[in-house]
Amino acid sequence: MTTDTPLQLGMVGLGRMGSNLVRRLMRDGHRCVVYDLDAKAVEELEGEGAGAASSLQDFVGKLETPRTVWLMLPAGAVQPTLELLAGMLDRGDTVIDGGNSYYRDDMARARQLAPHGIHYVDCGTSGGVWGLERGYCLMIGGEDEPVRRLDPIFRTIAPGAGSAEPTPGRTRTDGTAPEGYLHCGPSGAGHFVKMVHNGVEYGMMAAIAEGLSVIEHADAGLDDRTVDAETAPLREPEAYQYDIDVAEVAEVWRRGSVVGSWLVDLIADALANSPHLDTYSGRVSDSGEGRWTVLAAVDESVPAPVINAALTERYESRGLGEFGDKVLSAMRGEFGGHAEKAA
C-alpha cells in the first residue's frame, strides 16, 4: 500500500469505517481534514495527524482546490449534508458518497450538482471494521475524469492485488479489479453493484445461519416431545441423537471447505467466544440494500428467491410477522377448533 501521488481528502462522518478510512489514507501519505458532529471523534484523529474542522464551513475552508469531500454517513443523512455543502463548494470540486445510498439517489444528486460543475462519485465500500488492515473493496460510479484523478485515493483504500490469489483463468492485464477497486460505470453504477453485493451477503449469511442451526438441533431425538393432535411427531428420533459441537463445525469449515469464507471465519470467532451466542437476541436489522436488490430483481424480471427469503427472515427476526402468525393461529382455531399450545 504505497502511492507516489499523495492527495488531500476531506472526510465527513467519523464512525467506525470513516475513521479507519482516514487512518488508512494517512498511513499512505495522504493528507486528511476531518469533520463530525462528535467533537471527540475529530479530536482523536487530530491527535493522529489529521486536520480538524469545527464546522462544515471550517472544513471546506481547510481543503485545497479542487476539493475532494468524502461523505461516510447513514443514507438518510447524505442529502441534507450535501445540500449544505453544495453552496460552499466550487466548480471542479468532487463529492464522494462512500456509504450505502440508494443508487437512484446518486443519479439524482449527480444531476443536481452538474450545473454547478461539481462532480459526484458514488463509491460502494465493503470491509467493515476489519478494513483498516485488510483494505476495503470499492465499487465506484461516476464520470471518468474525477474517478481517474482520484485513483491514488482508491488504490490506497483498496486491499491490493496480494490480498487474493490470482484468478487462474484471467487473461486480462488491464483494469483495477485485481487491486480490489473497480469503476463500474456512470453515476449510480457503484452503489448498484454494492447494493447487489449486500443482497448476496444477506443470502450467504442466511444459508450459513440456517445450516448451523440444523446442526445445533441434531439432538432433537433426545427431547421429550409432546404426543398430541397439535404436534407433528418425529418419526425416527434415533436419527437425531447427535450432540454436535457447532463451534467446532464452524472451525473445521474454515479449512479446505467449499463453504469456507470470511463470513464463516467471523462466525467461528463469535462461537469460540460464546458457544450459544448468549449475548445476541437474534434481532437482525436491514439497512436497505437487500430490499433494493429485490426491487431491482422484480424490475428486471430476474428471479432472486434466496435473497428475497433472506430479507423476509430479517423482518421475521424483528417480530414483524407476529400479527400474521396470530392470524394463522386464529384461523386454525376457527375452522378446526385447534387451541394454541403454550410456548
CA distances from 61 to 35, 84, 85, 324, 339 (A): 12, 14, 11, 54, 69
CA angle 191, 263, 174 (to 5 degrees): 50
8 A C-beta contact, residue 220 and residue 240: yes
User: Cell 458514488, residue?
Assistant: 122
How buried is 29 (Cβ within 10 angstroms: 0-12 exposed, 13-18 middle, 19+ buried)? middle
CA–CA dist 72, 232 (Å, integer): 51
Neighbour-count burial for 196-225, b at 16+ CB within 10 Å, e otherwise: bbbbbbbbbbbebbeebeeeeeeeeeeeee
CA–CA dist 241, 219 (Å, integer): 4
DSSP 147: H
The size of the chain, in residues, is 343
CA–CA dist 195, 291 (Å, integer): 9
8 A C-beta contact, residue 141 and residue 165: no
The DSSP-derived string for 115-126 is: GGT-EEEEEEEE
Catalytic residue positions, numbered: 194, 201
8 A C-beta contact, residue 6 and residue 29: yes
Cell numbers at 153, concatenated: 485515493
8 A C-beta contact, residue 8 and residue 63: yes
- Identify residue 261 by its one-letter amino acid code: S
CA–CA dist 283, 82 (Å, integer): 32
